[in-house]
Structure 1
């Protein structure tokens, strides 16, 4: 993968975005992002082992770039990865055996592939799934009651509930859920010592190959014996009248199973931590359950599970007057956009009644998150079940955030509580 040779002055504050540990240190991260928004909203970041990029930290600029999806494209660099990992992935894709999900694609191919699964996330499908989601919400609040008065909310509840939802949608058997949990944690935990399989690009490739092996068998089964589930829709999906390649099919499963699980886990666990940190907001939500939809949106803004995506300029252009050369990449800092003082009144205040709430946590434009409606429904169902039954709650130890540059949130949330 080539890198533009134009010289730029590197931003000191911007280096935080190329440091996975910064996302496990929120005061440090937000101090740097606040400074960038005010003084350097388009900042050049050059910090090995990553290739350089322009950090975009203002909400309006992020939205403008997302709208210009022909000028700023996902390929070949849809997210921040070390240079050697980018090179390995590109070589695998060139050989036809690399991960190529919706986040790696651009229109028109992206649009055609997205259509294959889109019906499963529309309102009609969500209504049909809601009984299962509500049932699982009750199951996991009951589990909190049964294992109390203390638990690690992340490992005991938050990682399991959305995994069961998304794998139920795919139609996978419950005995396969532990395997999927391990693989999704390894995929998104590549920067975190606790969850990574190893620290090399080859280790990440091994995780992907384990995913592919599992889903190749699933594809063969669903093509031979179609069923009424999302896995069947993916296995039998057609592009221009032809089945998707085996790798594109497996990649579709991977993004649904992993992104549909891990991001929601982060929203749920971070949302509960916010209610603990702001007991007045928990009391408001308990007293007025009609606030739940806006509370869920605020939890999603507050946690911002997907930290960034990247885009590459297809022509010379500029952002906020700063020249961006063809071939240079921009880093869309959603975490920063969701704290933009020009968009959000008191952005560092957690407010369950915040409205409007124009957060960027699901992206914007053609790459708006396919599973946004499902994530909202899962969070609504869990907190609708939990909040009325929650008699008391407090931290039982320090929360721990994962080190990441892409998807992440709490990896441990020890709590002491009473649930009816």
Structure 2
């Protein structure tokens, strides 16, 4: 069976600007789900891959982590960046986070931080998160009647939570925010301060590793009761984590732990602004907050994709995939699959069931999912009852990306009591 020719719609996967244009993106994804749900993608700057756009196929691949491996290509990057990353790892300076690993090493490394995100830990943290939610809604009130919700509120609330969990000093928060923007925002001109080349992006990674190397030394010398100390002193088979694995653990928690939540919070508020009937429904029935949060996460899908590589010859929906070939799990598409979600383009705060794949699935299910849900629940539970009016004060702007992203600006006009 010969490989199908590349559908023009599949070009969206290698075009960061497509994720800044919802209409264009979803038109392409809808077309691919209907006509080429396993689409071959070839591009000048990327190695070829297969884009998987149906929810059922994404779930099946996520379930079978023996057949579908994260290494060596866990996410979409240019061929030059892939090569540089491999060279950096060989030199002991690359990034190897949980998303890069396969079992059994992935399982062992994940255990080191898992207790900090279990239900008991979340219950213990909830009082503090609720306090921070009130602080930021109060701030929103105080700086009103207009603000940029992304830069004034949505960035800072989850950043403060995750940095506090790690036990980092507040004066370091702005630095961590800048590094995260540069790491995840390299495809967007506004965020890209150092350039797009792999060598320029390496400078960002070196800054992360320098900062967290100092943190590791400090926590090993004087352990404390925080997540940073748990990572610094984590052991596998009675051996400490390697320098690469330790620094990488910090990077994924500090960066993904707040940036993705920022995207879900800001995109969730925009959805409530654009769907006032759903906002009113949520105000009348606060018991819907749990399902509302899940719908915001489905709607925004901050992590756009991960990739897997076939460990042996196989097929997806009848399309042969050879050993060593990679598939792109299009979470944004899976979360609009008409076969899974009734009226998938309707924002519904009471949607139930809501089997979205925004947190992934299987062994790589997002470690911080419970924390993200709690943060969103706390913030919107504080905001919605106090919000007397809200409207756009300008055009929302989405960031260009191929991996993690969402709104970079959300100008609003409002009254809060």
Q: Please give the TM-score of this superposition, normalised by the length of structure 1.
A: 0.98
Partner of 1:88: 84
Tell me, in whole angstroms, the C-alpha distance in 2 between the residues paired with 1:8 and 1:73.
24
Tell me, in whole angstroms, the C-alpha distance in 2 between the residues paired with 1:50 and 1:391.
48
Residues 19-38 of structure 1: pairs in structure 2 closer than 5 A? 19-38=15-34
1:298-319 deviation line (CA, Å, top 9, x unaligned): 0000000000000000110000
Tell me, in whole angstroms, the C-alpha distance in 1 between the residues paired with 2:43 and 2:354.
33
Tell me, in whole angstroms, the C-alpha distance in 2 between the residues paired with 1:261 and 1:329.
28
Tell me, in whole angstroms, the C-alpha distance in 1 between the residues paired with 2:32 and 2:218.
51
Partner of 2:373: 376
Tell me, in whole angstroms, the C-alpha distance in 1 between the residues paired with 2:123 and 2:409.
32
Pick one of 183, 187, 195 that aligns with 1:187.
183
Tell me, in whole angstroms, the C-alpha distance in 2 between the residues paired with 1:50 and 1:137.
41
Tell me, in whole angstroms, the C-alpha distance in 1 between the residues paired with 2:207 and 2:3.
41
Partner of 1:15: 11
Partner of 1:291: 288
SS across alignment from 1:262? helix
Partner of 1:363: 360
Pick one of 309, 316, 319 that aligns with 2:306.
309
RMSD: 0.8
C-alpha displacement of 1:9 = 2.3
C-alpha displacement of 1:7 = 6.6
SS across alignment from 1:169? helix
Partner of 1:345: 342
Structure 2 unaligned spans of 5+: none
C-alpha displacement of 1:198 = 1.2
Tell me, in whole angstroms, the C-alpha distance in 1 between the residues paired with 2:170 and 2:119.
25
Q: Which runs of 4+ in 1 moved over 4 A?
A: none
Structure 1 unaligned spans of 5+: 1-5
Q: Does 1:275 align with 2:239?
A: no
Residues 96-175 of structure 1: pairs in structure 2 closer than 5 A? 96-175=92-171
Partner of 1:215: 212
Q: Does 1:260 align with 2:247?
A: no
Farther off after superposition, 383-392 or 188-197: 188-197
Q: Please give the TM-score of this superposition, normalised by the length of structure 2.
A: 0.99
1:358-407 deviation line (CA, Å, top 9, x unaligned): 00000000000000000000000000000000000000000000000000
SS across alignment from 2:72? coil
Pick one of 316, 319, 323 that aligns with 1:319.
316
Partner of 1:234: 231
Pick one of 248, 251, 262 that aligns with 2:248.
251
C-alpha displacement of 1:71 = 0.6
Partner of 2:73: 77
Q: Does 1:392 align with 2:395?
A: no
Tell me, in whole angstroms, the C-alpha distance in 1 between the residues paired with 2:183 and 2:12.
22
C-alpha displacement of 1:8 = 5.6
C-alpha displacement of 1:22 = 0.2
C-alpha displacement of 1:49 = 1.2
SS across alignment from 1:44? strand
Tell me, in whole angstroms, the C-alpha distance in 1 between the residues paired with 2:374 and 2:173.
21
SS across alignment from 2:208? helix
SS across alignment from 2:168? coil
For these two proteins, the number of residue pairs brought into alignment is: 415
